[in-house]
Homo-oligomer: A and B are copies of this chain.
Amino acid sequence: MPDALAAAQLRRLLLERFPVFGQLPGPQLERLLAEAQLLRVPAGGVLFDATQPCRGFPLVLEGGVRVAKFAPNGREILLYRVDPGQGCILSGGCLLGHSDYSARGIAEEDVTLLSVPPALFHQLMLEFEPFRRFVFGMYGERLAEVMELVEAVAFQRLDERLAQLLVHRGPVIEATHQKLADELGSVREIVSRLLRSFETRGWVKLERERITLLDPKSLAAHGRL
């Protein structure tokens, strides 16, 4: 595939995922497309980690990224997800010269991202107000999400949080019990046990790597309290 075509596709994808760049003056957009690196990370790959310094500000084009904390004993808890159309503010904070965050970013599916070099990132932040707004907005959202998470972990029971998670993930969830446990910061056995209790109540149907919601209302009601 000729480069010109690839470049045109990349531009379309970028603008589709990040409408904010639609307002960026032509020359700067060209520069962004020219200087940013297109990266692919296979599912399960590590995008960034506690120790690693960041080499750019990643804009996620395709695929989802899990940002999570890991305990030494192997347990983990999901802090938030970075979806296509979002950037990684941890790297942003890192680029702006703050303490590095000790969280890990894992590709949930195959991830395509555009890595904006530090110099260009800083220039965009300085000169392009909409981009600044965009980055600010993400910070705000993340902070709010993580604050909610603190509340949930501190005050809610695990069955409530699991019920919420199931409702949120839609009518059919394709995931192992281990994955769900990893989102909640718990362990497989407990999630299995709780799922079984949901099943005996007729709220869900359990199959290998698949959970089907039969009574979302009851689950939702169980979740919020």
Binding site for B on A (CB under 8 A): 69, 71, 75, 77, 79, 89, 93, 96, 98-99, 101-103, 126, 129, 132-133, 136-137, 139-144, 146-151, 153-155, 185
20 new A-B contacts at CB < 8 Å, known A99-B140, A149-B150? A69-B147, A69-B150, A69-B151, A71-B154, A75-B155, A77-B150, A77-B154, A93-B140, A96-B136, A98-B144, A99-B141, A101-B144, A102-B148, A136-B136, A136-B139, A139-B139, A146-B150, A153-B153, A153-B154, A154-B185
Q: How far is the CB of A68 from chain B (nearest CB, A)?
A: 10
A199 CB → nearest B CB, Å = 26
Contact B185 A144 (CB under 8 A): no
Establish whether residues B98 and A137, one from each chain, have CB atoms under 8 Å apart when the complex forms.
yes
**A132 → chain B, closest Cβ, in Å?**
7
- Contact in complex: B147, A103 (CB < 8 Å): yes
Query: In whole angstroms, how far apart are the Cα atoms of A67 and B141 in the complex?
Result: 17
30 contacts between A and B (CB under 8 A): A69-B151, A69-B154, A71-B151, A75-B155, A77-B151, A77-B155, A79-B147, A79-B150, A89-B143, A93-B139, A93-B140, A96-B133, A96-B137, A96-B140, A98-B137, A98-B141, A101-B147, A102-B148, A126-B129, A132-B132, A136-B136, A136-B139, A139-B139, A139-B143, A142-B143, A146-B146, A149-B150, A153-B153, A153-B154, A155-B185
Majority secondary structure of chain A interface residues (helix, strand, loop or mixed):
helix
Residues of B within 8 A of A98 (CB): 137, 140-141, 144
Bound-state Cα–Cα, A102 to B147, Å: 9
Residues of B contacting A143 in the complex (Cβ-Cβ under 8 angstroms): 89, 93, 101, 139, 142-143, 146
